[in-house]
Structure 1
Amino acid sequence: MFEKFKSHINKKYTTISVYVIITVAIIFALGFATTRIGIIFKTATDVLFYLLKIFTPVFIGVVIAYIIDPMVNFTEKLYSKSKIIRFKNQKKYRSLAVFSCIIGTITLIFVLVGLFIFSITKEIANIKLDQAIALITNYINSFSDSLSSFEGKLADLNIVKSNAIDQYISQLSTSLINGLKDFTNNLAGSTKHISSYASNIVFGLIIGIYLLLDKEDFKEYCDKFSRALFTDKMQNRIKNFWEDFNRIFSGYIRGQLLDSLFMCIVLSICLTIIGIKFGMLIGVLAGLCNLIPYFGPIVAFVGTILFGMLNGQYTQVIIAIVVLLIVQQIDGNIIGPKLLGKSVSLKPIFILVAVLIGSQIAGVLGMVLAVPVAGIIKLFIKRHIDERLRKKEAAEHEAAVSKE
């Protein structure tokens, strides 16, 4: 009976009917999605953040392995060439190199953090609270008197109403107080999640160690997966993309980390020797902010001038500014280019635009990663344009030859 019914079916009209049903279903789904776009977007965002939260240790582990891998490779070569350390199994050189680099990096971080905490606590211990309050009060009174005098002159010239600046100052004070309250509330909320942060870092470190130990095995798995899933042409595209990504990201991120470490150490030592209060704090913050283009120098100069002026260190501030200018010139013209090389070749205007866009998308992390991402986008656009121009020139050449 089914065969008889099947013989009466027109395949052409059946195919058309299926296409019509699918089209109607798609239109209905799009219409439903349009009316529920807010709910769908919120649900998708919640799911994405939930997945990111779950895979945070994995992400941390990948970052740790990616950053430390060149150091591990270099150490492994040293151990394999050493006459003192000899192993029959070549993997043991890798294991020893991984644990040596991990322990060395953790030790360096603890030493730097310990020196930083020691310096800050020493500075705080030397502060006389009464003198600090009196100094800040004098600055506020002086600033208030200057504003009042300026307001009076503007009022005499009928440029601004006499109470306009007072209202502005009142609004500014309210904003500052509210901002301080929000900062303290956020800080208190962050301390509640310290155990979560610590566990993510610990598990991320463990994952990073296993990734470093089994690097070749993971590369082999990825290669097999790629060959099984993609065509040869797609494999070549993926390989070329990874090579470009690795060259730009590794060159920039690792170079920036070394440059930031250099600036942290040099600025902290220089400002401490000059005698600027909280010189260690300013140096460390400026060095960390050096991960974001142009932010490091701003933090260094503003922090030095602010803390120096508040403590009446006018001579030290002038000396510190000169030293900062020299250090920034050395870093910008010698140290930075040596560490970064030609990993990212972007004009300053594109760097600023990339940092601004990155800050809007992913905050501080977006600002740090904005430059290498922009470098990759620039590379792909340049290659696409060059390819189009090459094809256009080839077509024009063929047309010219055919006319002849």
Structure 2
Amino acid sequence: MIKVRMFDKYFLTNKNNKPAEPEPEIFESPDGKETIKVIPYRSPRWQRSTKYLVASVILMLLLATLFFLRSLISPILVAVIMTYLFQPISCFFNTKLNISWKASVIILYVLLILIIVGLAAWGGISLASQAENLINFLTQVFNDLTKQTSPTVNSPESSTSIQQLLNSFSSSETGTEIFSAIQNVLSGITGSIGSLISGFASTVVSFFFSFGLSFFLLFESDGVPGKTISFNLEGYEYDFQKGRQQFTRIWNSFLRGQILLMIFTILLYFLVFMILGLNYSLALAFLMGLARLIPYIGSTVAYIFFAIVAFYQPTTFLGMPHLNYAIMIVLIAFIIDKFMDSVLTPKVMADTLKIHPAAVLVAAIVFSKLLGLIGIFLAAPIVASFKLLITYIYRKMTDQDPWEGFETIAKPIPLRQIVKNSWETSKKFLGELVVFTINFSKWLVQKFKTWSKFLSNNIKDFREKRKDRKNHEQSGNQTANHRSN
């Protein structure tokens, strides 16, 4: 039995403009006992209320899915980051080795697995051990300080004055905001480090999940970024292409530049701390690399950790006093940090995100609660992306051209050019530093000779005067003895 269903509601009434009727399609009923003939392209249109209802249901389902699967957000973001970072390397293998894209991706990931295994065997265990020992060391220091200061703090006079001071400060709005900000940042950093150590197995599983997902994303892209994303809404093709270009430049510029700066920071601080004999040098260098993601507060917290470790470790560089050693460590770290802020960071990042550091600080605090350590890392590009999206929505709602006079993000500098520029800048700075060190050493040697000569002459004059005084005293004594006799 064949049923013919005709949906003529939206047929054109004008026979002259009526299109040719399409051929019907035949479907089987669920029970398989009859067939249904349906003429295609007769699906009725949705009313506006139906569209709003469907959109609301989809949005609620999406939010519920994100809530229940929020633990997978960080691994997925890490996978997307890996895809962005590894895509140019795969392109390099694809063009230079003249092999297919899939083969280049496979070769890249095999090499990455070998590198990861090698680094885990050489430095991963050492980093985890140093981080755990560092946390135990800081905990012991704080406990010792509490025991040493508790008699003074608990005395009636000091306890009353300190309590009044803390109450007056914490009750103020500024004090509450400062305490809340510091607590959120410190809890985000220490909580992330502690979870990394305590949940090492889950961290490894999450990393390899992200690693595998990035492999499939890159493997199926065929070297074309964003190939899996298509947009066919009529009239919005230019908006989509322009927006995708800006989002891609934001994330590419930040991720590649920030990863390069983090690696350089960790290596530089690790070498400096190793030379200066600072304990837990690898963990502290890694901490400084993460601290650079948080403006204002991150570096300050790292300096405090450096000073505590340098002051309380048993031995110091060249037997220096512990206070002088701690001051020297913090001063050197401050100089390196300012060098990177003023020389390397502008060369690598080139102000691509165009956002205020205070906005990055607030975003780092917020996203550290939502995504943990990965939220701190991605705070800056997320803020830049929200800024771009909100600007577009505001201009569309006010009937303005969203792209007219828009401050677009510049095309990111190629990684090879970034490395070359950074090397040239570092080489120039090191050359100037060597010249300054040589000139300063010559000046210091000259001053040392002058001071030595001055001290030698003074000592010689002092000895001669003391000798003359002794001779005078002896002659006076002899004269007195002679008179007494």
Question: Counterpart of 1:244 in structure 2: which amino acid?
Answer: Q
The alignment status of 1:226 with 2:226, answered yes or no, reads: no
Question: Counterpart of 2:79 in structure 1: which amino acid?
Answer: G
Q: Are the structure 2 counterparts of residues 74 and 195 from structure 1 closer, same or farther at C-alpha, using a change threshold of 3 Å?
A: same
Q: Are the structure 2 counterparts of residues 350 and 283 from structure 1 closer, same or farther at C-alpha, using a change threshold of 3 Å?
A: same
Instruction: Please say if residues 248 and 375 of structure 1, whose CA atoms lie closer than 8 Å, have aligned partners that are also in contact.
Output: yes
Q: Are the structure 2 counterparts of residues 334 and 94 from structure 1 closer, same or farther at C-alpha, using a change threshold of 3 Å?
A: same
Aligned-pair identity (%) = 18
1:344 to partner: Cα distance: 0.9
CA distance in 1 between partners of 2:158 and 2:354 (Å): 51
Q: Are the structure 2 counterparts of residues 93 and 299 from structure 1 closer, same or farther at C-alpha, using a change threshold of 3 Å?
A: same
1:339 to partner: Cα distance: 2.3
The alignment status of 1:366 with 2:375, answered yes or no, reads: yes
Q: Equivalent residue for 2:465?
A: none
Q: In structure 1, which of residues 278, 281, 289 is the aligned counterpart of residue 280 of structure 2?
A: 278
Q: Is 52-61 or 363-372 further displaced after alignment?
A: 52-61
Q: Which runs of 5+ in 2 are unaligned?
A: 1-46, 168-186, 315-321, 405-485
Q: In structure 2, which of residues 60, 67, 72 is the aligned counterpart of residue 49 of structure 1?
A: 67
1:239 to partner: Cα distance: 1.8
* Cα deviation code 1:334-387 (max 9, x no counterpart): 222222223211223333333344345544433332221222333455677889
CA distance in 2 between partners of 1:93 and 1:362 (Å): 32
CA distance in 1 between partners of 2:117 and 2:238 (Å): 38
1:390 to partner: Cα distance: 7.9
CA distance in 2 between partners of 1:106 and 1:264 (Å): 20
Q: Are the structure 2 counterparts of residues 99 and 212 from structure 1 closer, same or farther at C-alpha, using a change threshold of 3 Å?
A: farther
Instruction: Please say if residues 62 and 208 of structure 1, whose CA atoms lie closer than 8 Å, have aligned partners that are also in contact.
Output: yes
Q: Equivalent residue for 1:206?
A: 212
Q: Equivalent residue for 1:176?
A: none
1:141 to partner: Cα distance: 4.6
Question: Counterpart of 2:275 in structure 1: which amino acid?
Answer: I
Q: In structure 2, which of residues 61, 66, 86 is the aligned counterpart of residue 68 of structure 1?
A: 86
The alignment status of 1:315 with 2:324, answered yes or no, reads: yes
CA distance in 2 between partners of 1:137 and 1:93 (Å): 54
1:264 to partner: Cα distance: 1.7
Q: Are the structure 2 counterparts of residues 292 and 110 from structure 1 closer, same or farther at C-alpha, using a change threshold of 3 Å?
A: farther
CA distance in 1 between partners of 2:393 and 2:368 (Å): 27
Q: In structure 2, which of residues 387, 394, 398 is the aligned counterpart of residue 378 of structure 1?
A: 387
What is the correspondence of 1:3-402 to structure 2 with a 5 Å cutoff? 47-53=65-71, 59-80=77-98, 92-101=103-112, 103-104=114-115, 107-108=118-119, 111-117=122-128, 139-148=145-154, 151-152=156-157, 191=198, 195-216=201-222, 222=228, 225-227=230-232, 230-231=233-234, 233-311=235-313, 313-359=322-368, 361-380=370-389
Greater helix percent: which structure? Answer: 1
SS in 2 for 1:335: helix
1:308 to partner: Cα distance: 2.3
Q: Are the structure 2 counterparts of residues 346 and 96 from structure 1 closer, same or farther at C-alpha, using a change threshold of 3 Å?
A: same
Count residues in correspondence: 323
TM-score by length of structure 2 reads 0.53
Q: Is 270-279 or 97-106 further displaced after alignment?
A: 97-106
Larger CA Rg, structure 1 vs 2:
2
Instruction: Please say if residues 267 and 283 of structure 1, whose CA atoms lie closer than 8 Å, have aligned partners that are also in contact.
Output: yes
1:332 to partner: Cα distance: 0.8
